[in-house]
Structure 1
């Protein structure tokens, strides 16, 4: 019996991610994935069972990258203030979407818009990840409130949800490739609500 072909699973997932991200789940064919990963269909099915199985792993990779980046941004802030750390994150986020010249948007947001009403498992998986991102904001805001950096009556839960709404809106907008200046304006307004809550 022939030995299974060996390959770098992480490398395959990254290549598949780029295809799904640009094309969307439904429009991506197995042929597209074969061409991108340079694996035979049998190897793809042997490793991931199906296109959907591959996509679920891609979502995990993408989402964990996002969570890691947010955590690192919070930890690497030059300031002790969680507010400043969140502001720095959004300034970097703004730079990222300005560099998205082809309007790829966010893989998780794109997938929610495409599949949320059709696939309960995928919707639940992405919702869980998005909730974890929102919770990162909430924890940072609550820590700031307890330290006295935010007004004592600040509703940190609502503020975290507002920040997530801003991310969703900006990511969807980025797929239309507007004038990059609009991102800075929107982020500025978004952060003004945050700074108004300072003590």
Structure 2
């Protein structure tokens, strides 16, 4: 019979994520990681190959917990129109900024700003997560538009702008983004959505 693992993997990964979140990949030494995860070196190497393997595991965990749920929310028509879904998501971030500055921020944003994101497998993994969010914004926009290649192209452009707003709000929130500034970001998102909706509206029928 196999011996039970000496630690709870998910709890240890949550603690590792917290360390990477605070320090970044490069500054999170193995010694700090072992202390944060509350495991021995032997247990570490039994469960994970190296620090990079732990980092990937934390990215996957954040992907499942936050990115996937955000993608699902934006893609679900039961949550309202595409516009309503997008503004609801951004308003939630604004609410956090107004309440406490959203001091935790976004693990994906932090990871993308770190040195480890510059090339290689880590960069590929982070970009894949960002592209999934971009596609989710585009899907929400397209749900409110007539179907055509032109509308799809415009929705793609607007989705990238909305993704930039989303990331910007999370980064600034960690730095103590004021609630008023966050509300202005939501208003700007609404303007972007209104712009594409107006440009893509069917032309009036001729008399």
1:78 Cα offset (Å) = 4.7
Residue in 2 that maps onto 1:73: 73
Tell me: CA distance 1:84–1:147, structure 2 relative to 1, closer, same or farther (3 Å).
farther
- Say if 2:131 is the partner of 1:131: yes
Q: For 1:61 and 1:154, how far apart are their aligned partners in 2?
A: 32
1:86 aligned residue: 86
Instruction: Please name the residue that 1:164 is paired with.
Output: 163
Separation (CA, whole Å) in 1 of partners of 2:164 and 2:16:
28
Offset from partner CA, 1:40-73 (integer Å, 9 cap, x none): 1221122111111100110111122223321343
Cross-structure match for 2:204: none
Question: Matched residues in 1 for 2:176 and 2:70: separation?
Answer: 24
Q: Give 4+ residue runs of structure 1 displaced > 6 Å after superposition.
A: none
Cα distance in 2 for residues equivalent to 1:8 and 1:30: 19
Please say if residues 83 and 140 of structure 1, whose CA atoms lie closer than 8 Å, have aligned partners that are also in contact: yes
Structure 2 unaligned residues grouped into runs of 5+ = 202-207
Aligned residues: 195
How many Å separate the matches in 1 of 2:84 and 2:181?
Answer: 22
Q: Deviations over 1:83-142 (max 9, x none)?
A: 111111111122244456474432212112112564411011000111011111112212
Q: CA RMSD in A?
A: 2.7
Report if aligned partners of 1:115, 1:122 keep a CA contact under 8 Å in 2: no
1:32 paired residue number = 32
Report which of the two structures shows the higher radius of gyration computed on alpha carbons. Answer: 2
- In the alignment, structure 1 residue 55 sits paired with structure 2 residue 55: yes
Q: 1:105 to 1:60 in 2, by over 3 A?
A: same
Does structure 2 retain, via aligned residues, the 8 Å contact 1:145–1:152? yes
Alignment correspondent of 1:178: 177
Instruction: Tell whether the 8 Å contact from 1:154 to 1:197 is kept in structure 2 after alignment.
Output: no
* TM-score between both structures, scaled by the size of structure 2: 0.81
CA distance in 1, matches of 2:155, 2:176: 32
Does 2:73 correspond to 1:44? no
| Match of residue 195 from structure 1 | 194
Q: Is 2:155–2:196's contact at 8 Å kept on the other side of the alignment?
A: no
C-alpha displacement of 1:30: 2.2
